[in-house]
A and B are shown apart, each in its own frame.
Chain A
Amino acid sequence: MKKKSGKNKTTNQRSFYFEDYLETNKKSKNFKKHNNFEDRNYLLFFFFFSLITIFSIKIAYISLSQKEILGFNNQNSKFNLLRRDIVDRNGIIISRNINAYHAAVDPKLVKDKKNFLIKLRLIFPNLPIEEIRQKLNGKKYFRIKTRITQNEKQKLWSLGEKAIKFEPFQARMYTHGDLFSHVIGQVDYDNFGISGLEKYFDKELKSKNLKDTPLELTLDSNIQYIINKELSEAIKTFDASGAAALLMNVNNGDILSLVSLPNFNINQRKTITDKNYINKITKGVYELGSIFKTFTVALALERNIVRKDTVIENIPRKLKCSIHEITDMKEHPSNLSTEEILIRSSNVGSVILAQKIGEDVFKKFIKNTNLTKVPDIELEEVGAPHEIKWNKCKIETVSFGHGITTTPLQATTLYASLTNGGNFVTPSLIKERNKIETKKIISNETSREISSILRQVVSNENGTASLADIDGYYVGGKTGTAESYGNNKQRINSFISVFPTKKPNYSLFVMLENPKLNKDLIYNYRGIKTKAPYNTSGWNSVYVAGKIIEKIGPILAINNKDFLNQYVVEKFN
């Protein structure tokens, strides 16, 4: 105090300075604190600035990144397929596993039941609301709708109800609906194949190693569609109860199309008990009739019993064989050459040829060609033809296709084998299969002769299949009309064609079940407009086959390498 006052005394100025110093000290202290506050605020602002910059960079980066089509970006990435895809020969998807959902409700989590029901009814007006209301009062978890669509899921999900649960599962989708119903088959809810290819190849389709490679079929979706469409039209035109068609590559047995009508949508699960819905090509066992005459003629030629121009004289109108009486529907000249027997489809002529061939040879041939065995195809639905009892008069009826049953698949396979040079082929639906050793059933020579006779069936004016004579495809073939009399009158009109007959590539089988005579249809028969005189396959199945060949011909031709090399000029860009 003293010191201070002393100082005060000495220099007034200094005393003033001292006080001022205090003030400055306080100020600077204050200033220091202030500075601290400012520093921290600058730091804080720098932090803000960094946050906003990070955001700006990020959003700019996102908006400049590669644009993908919305909804397709994360579809395949991590989706673990339980079953492989099935594709046709061109890689078009026929069946694929997709992610799907069931919608379920846990009643314990529903807060406002009334509101919940109203919301549900807004989305699904057809739900059994009363039933759900009762279940809501219980405590059990229950499903409100199985297999909901993506759109429905979105709507349900947007309700934001915790109580709605989505149970994920993998559903099998068949992109073509009913088009391949008899071939592909179905799977059950646990992804086990229960019919068709899905069952036959169940193990392979589930194989984890092959997961990413689809199962390639020999079928062609485009051709399948065309044939399906033509057959559906034919059913309407001829008021038939069913129809079937099979297109086969004669050289390797690849099945390009297999249609059996009526068919059903394999995306839906229904129990079908109607026999009409079977796979008529592989499961259906029929007496195919005159189609068998080709086999008789082929055997006769192969055994050198006759040549194709050997004339068989004095063919009777009627032939009695034990209790059966064999006649011809139409009147034929009494002297027919071997090829004319086939062209005119003479029953009696075939019987005479068969009698010349003999029962043993015929038996061996049928055994050799597996005609009456269960067909060898990659499907579960195969029919067993009746065992032939070689009693009296059997060979005579078999020679023109009566008293012998087989599946259309086997008949078509045999036609393919007879016309491809005589190599027996095994039909197949799968592109990659183990090579089976081919066996020769007839010689090249006979095969060529058969092809040319089949061509005449179509092109000759006495032939039964003129309506299938499509310009440019050299169609050959044989008709078959089979009737069964009795309580259930059945009529099977079929036609097996082979084309082009110069060097056969494809064999097409067309069958109509119980067709009726269409009195209004006007045919263009060899340039003459006419109506159908008889209800034989020549006037319906052949007509349908012609229409099919006309439409699928260009598709088949463009895929033909020989044709391409010969006619199509390669385009240089």
Chain B
Amino acid sequence: MQENSFKFFTLNYWRSIDKKILICFLTLFFLGLFFSFSSTSSLAGERLNKDYYFFFTKHLIFTILAISIMMIISFIRTEVLIKLVIPAFVVSFIFLAIVPIVGVEAKGARRWLNLYFFNLQPVEILKPLFILMTVKILTYKNFQNYHIKYFLSFILLSCVIILLIDQPDLGQSILLTSSWIATVFVSGVSLIYIGIFLTIFLILFSSLLFFLPEKFGYIINRLISFFDPSQGDKFQSSSALDAIKLGGLTGQGMGEGILKESVPEAHTDYVIAVISEEYGSLVSIIIITIFLYIAFRIIKSCFNQDNEFIKISLSGLASLLIFQTFIHAGVNTNLLPTTGMTLPFLSYGGSSLMSSAILAGLILNYTKNKTYLYD
């Protein structure tokens, strides 16, 4: 009986899940594994004097872990998952909040928690949960006809942003803010509110720069070097551009890239440039198109959903995915000022992979075709 129900459940799962999205996610995970091999082997072997497979092995373990997490999340019944949102968000928020106190500092920013077996970046876990939490507030029954729900979600955003700015982590703040705007926009807010919000945001941002120049001066430097390429330290962005140039459309060939050797964190923050250098910019465009296709599938699927929460969540999660991808790709191609942003699924790093796994699991879960379930 037990066996029978499990069989039924699995079959049901397989019939209800959006297989195209699943295949896309798995493809991205495997591509990430493949690229991490070429982008980190020289780092491990030549710079850190470790086994050439050191980072690759680590990444492999994380990928397996991430795929399992993705599958587990997509297995859980949607109702349960919706109920879990608040506790999960609270836990990850606490993690984020204790970073300034017990966090590990690396390269000028305090963003990580040391969890013995790996360093966790809580914001990565928080990101998808934050979107869900926002949607939860926006769809909360008692607030249905009040504008106070927007204000509440704005307060939520501010709490997270303040913690992020303190780290400092500008890229994630901008990502969360833009995803929040997209979510609120989809939920049907009047466009006037968004206009008001953007004005407030700009005022707050510039006053931050103005009043705390010693902490946020680096932002000004980056902006200066972005708008006037002859000034400021543009080593990373110009190296990335050189790498893409060298790669051309078809690339230099596997393992032939030099960017990963000259730029620190190339395997996390400059993945697109590394891929373009070795495999050509066409491959990069194809990879980014996979992300766009996923977003397309998600948005197509959310039209078929009945639950308000799921609908808005799906749009929000899709925005998160696309914005993060675009920030990463934009920094790589000098469309945006320099900021460290990982590329979901493809960048090296445990936290980034976990974040991608949670995001993917949630998307798979929410895009399930509900007609197959429970009959």
Contacts and interface: CB of A to CB of B under 8 A. Distances in A.
B335 A44 contact: no
A51 B326 contact: yes
Nearest to A40: B186
**What does DSSP make chain A's interface, helix, strand, loop or mixed?**
helix
Contacts of B120: none
B106 A160 contact: yes
Interface string A141-171: 0000000000000100110101000000000
A48 B329 CA distance: 13
Contacts of B288: 52, 55-56
A36 B188 contact: yes
A63 B264 CA distance: 22
Interface stretch (B89-97, B169-177, B243-251): B243-251
Interface string A20-60: 00000000000001001110111011011101101110111
Given A45-B295, A51-B322, A70-B258, A63 B186 contact: no
A45 B335 contact: no
A41 B315 contact: yes
A64 interface: yes
Interface stretch (B123-131, B156-164, B198-206, B276-284): B276-284
B141 interface: no
B54 interface: no
A52 B186 contact: no
A65 B281 CA distance: 12
Contacts of A154: 262
B333 A58 contact: yes
B62 to A, nearest CB: 22
A63 B276 contact: yes
B91 to A, nearest CB: 28
Given A48-B292, A158-B264, A62 B105 contact: no
A111 interface: yes
B330 interface: yes
Interface stretch (B207-215, B296-304, B350-358, B366-374): B296-304
Nearest to A71: B242
A102 to B, nearest CB: 18
Contacts of B322: 48, 51-52
Contacts of A52: 288-289, 291-292, 322, 326
A36 B242 CA distance: 45
Interface centre among A41, A59, A73, by most chain B C-beta atoms within 10 angstroms, is A59
Contacts of B230: 77-78
B94 to A, nearest CB: 25
A489 interface: no
Interface residues of B, number: 48
Given A37-B186, A41-B303, A62 B241 contact: yes
Contacts of A70: 242, 246, 258
B302 A41 contact: yes
B47 A158 contact: yes
A74 to B, nearest CB: 7
Interface string A63-82: 11111101001100110000
A244 B242 CA distance: 49
A67 B318 CA distance: 36
Given A45-B296, A48-B318, A158-B47, A64 B248 contact: yes
Interface centre among A47, A58, A63, by most chain B C-beta atoms within 10 angstroms, is A63
B131 to A, nearest CB: 13
B319 interface: yes
Contacts of B106: 160
B107 interface: yes
A59 B282 CA distance: 9
B311 interface: yes
A44 B319 contact: yes
Contacts of A63: 244-245, 247-249, 276, 280-281
B185 interface: yes
Contacts of B311: 37
A161 to B, nearest CB: 9
B108 A56 contact: no
Contact of A44 (B241, B247, B280, B299): B299
B55 to A, nearest CB: 15
A60 B281 contact: yes
Contacts of B248: 63-64, 67
Nearest to B235: A157
Contacts of A45: 295-296, 299
Contacts of A58: 333, 335
Nearest to A38: B303
A61 to B, nearest CB: 9
B256 to A, nearest CB: 13
A60 B264 contact: no
Given A52-B291, A59-B244, A67-B246, A40 B185 contact: yes
Given A40-B185, A48-B295, A67-B245, 6 more contacts: A54-B335, A56-B285, A63-B247, A66-B245, A67-B246, A111-B105
19 contacts: A36-B188, A44-B186, A45-B295, A48-B295, A48-B319, A51-B323, A51-B326, A52-B289, A56-B285, A59-B333, A60-B285, A63-B281, A64-B249, A67-B246, A68-B242, A70-B242, A111-B105, A158-B264, A160-B107
Interface of B: 47, 105-108, 182, 185-186, 188, 230, 238, 241-242, 244-249, 258, 262, 264, 272, 276, 280-281, 284-285, 288-289, 291-292, 295-296, 299, 302-303, 311, 315, 318-319, 322-323, 326, 329-330, 333, 335
Which 5 residue pairs of A and B lie closest in terms of their CB atoms, listed nearest first?
A63-B281, A160-B107, A51-B326, A48-B322, A59-B281
